[in-house]
A = this chain, B = another copy of it.
Amino acid sequence: MAQRTEPARGMRDFLPEDIRRREYVIGIVKRVYERYGFEPLETPAVENIETLLGKYGEEGNQLIFKILMRGEHEASGKADLALRYDLTVPLARVVAQYQSKLPRLFNRYQIQPVWRADRPARGRFREFYQCDVDSLGSTSPVVEAGLCAAVSDALTQLGFSDFVIRINHRELLTSILSRSGIGAHQHGDALIALDKLDKIGPEGVDNDLANRGIEEQARNALLQVFISRASMNHVAAFVKGDTPGEAAVANLQAIAELTAQTSAAGKIAFDASLARGLSYYTGAIMEINVADLAGSLGGGGRYDNLVGMFLGQNVPACGFSLGLERILVVMGERNMFPLTLMTTPADVMIATFDAAGASAAMRFAATLRGAGLRVLVYPDPEKIGKQIKYADSRGIPFVALLGENEIESSTVTVKHLAAQTQETWHQSDAAAKILEGLKQRG
């Protein structure tokens, strides 16, 4: 009896064509990150469960995949391990664990999958890749500007030109909330409501705030700042006199000025309503959007206290995460992948005439591979017509025929399928001829 064959709910198999697109994007992102001095890091898929619990808010906690304890405790149903939920908390753990081995300024990138037990939906998966880039060790706005430049450069190299990096500041939000007359104990609630502005609109947020017990006057003051998409000057006036609020404005202005010198010039836009869901942010927060995608392509911010939860002493930190799956969705819809992305399994297929000829085929394949060609040896001595048809169906441009005559004279007959031509060459010339033929195809 056959078993179920689909992947687990919300998970995906990636066939060769998918992988080539994924590797194309990952390759560009890595190369750009490395140009900005970021170094690669990888952490295990599985973490101790305490490492993850309590870092992502209550909703996050519930979306963590938990792994059963082993051995005699398995029957108890207790979980002691969990699947990586993001790349930031493991980074904080790593910085605490290897502090003496890591440089004072640690710039790392990390491109790995994370798992969330979200309800699967169009474009939302339970296993998805994040491309994270983080700088640890400095509070300078040069860090934020460098991160914005790096992700902007990565997106530009991928062919995006129309994205916007919205930027805001957690301390500025706090200041606006206070000035609106919302007590500190309600700030968390208010931010959760605000974070939904794009999804549920101003009325929805107003209702949500009311349900959370925030009074009408405060709601009105707050929503006025956010709905009007107030300018930086407007907001600066609103928080004037509140020291942390003024410092946040100055920080945002410094970041904007530095960013203007980079590849992110013209891409940055202040948005007082940007809240970002995660609770660990402490300073500037950023999010990247394009018009034809409901969610964001990526986001990030400063989180100066997270490492302290592991280390016992704070380390300044700021990071950005690009969502690989969403980038791939938009690039697919917009036809942004280069046509040259390799789509054939081989450059040349060697047909097999009979069991005796297979040895000659293997030997000739080794020669062609030595010259850098991708070579498939057809394994079964089926009718040559059938073999050629197979090569054609796979988009393999050249088929090499090694019959008795060819073997005897150390020659090979090579068919160029698209051109419908065939030529007989000395075997030692074939690699160069085929390479030349491939170059002409472009």
Contacts and interface: CB of A to CB of B under 8 A. Distances in A.
Contact of A65 (B81, B126, B375): B81
A376 interface: yes
A98 B369 contact: no
List 10 A-B pairs, minimum CB-CB distance, nearest first: A77-B77, A37-B376, A11-B44, A2-B312, A16-B39, A140-B379, A5-B97, A261-B363, A19-B40, A138-B379
Interface of A is mostly: mixed
Given A65-B70, A70-B117, A143-B379, 5 more contacts: A13-B90, A105-B378, A146-B379, A262-B365, A263-B366
A46 interface: yes
A375 B37 contact: yes
Copies in the assembly, this chain = 2
A314 to B, nearest CB: 11
Interface in A348-378: 349, 352, 355, 358-363, 365-366, 369, 372-378
Interface string A1-23: 11111111001111110111011
Nearest to A92: B5
Given A19-B40, A65-B67, A68-B67, A258 B46 contact: no
A393 B8 CA distance: 47
A103 interface: yes
A438 interface: no
A262 B93 contact: no
A90 to B, nearest CB: 8
Nearest to A352: B142
A201 to B, nearest CB: 30
A19 B42 contact: yes
Nearest to A265: B366
A41 interface: yes
B94 A47 contact: no
Given A2-B310, A15-B101, A149-B366, A8 B376 contact: no
A361 to B, nearest CB: 8
A87 interface: no
A393 B104 CA distance: 10
A173 interface: no
A103 B393 contact: yes
Interface string A64-83: 01111010001111110101
A5 to B, nearest CB: 4
Interface stretch (A107-115, A226-234, A238-246): A107-115
A126 B46 CA distance: 10
Most buried by B among A38, A45, A98: A45
Interface in A371-397: 372-380, 390, 393-394
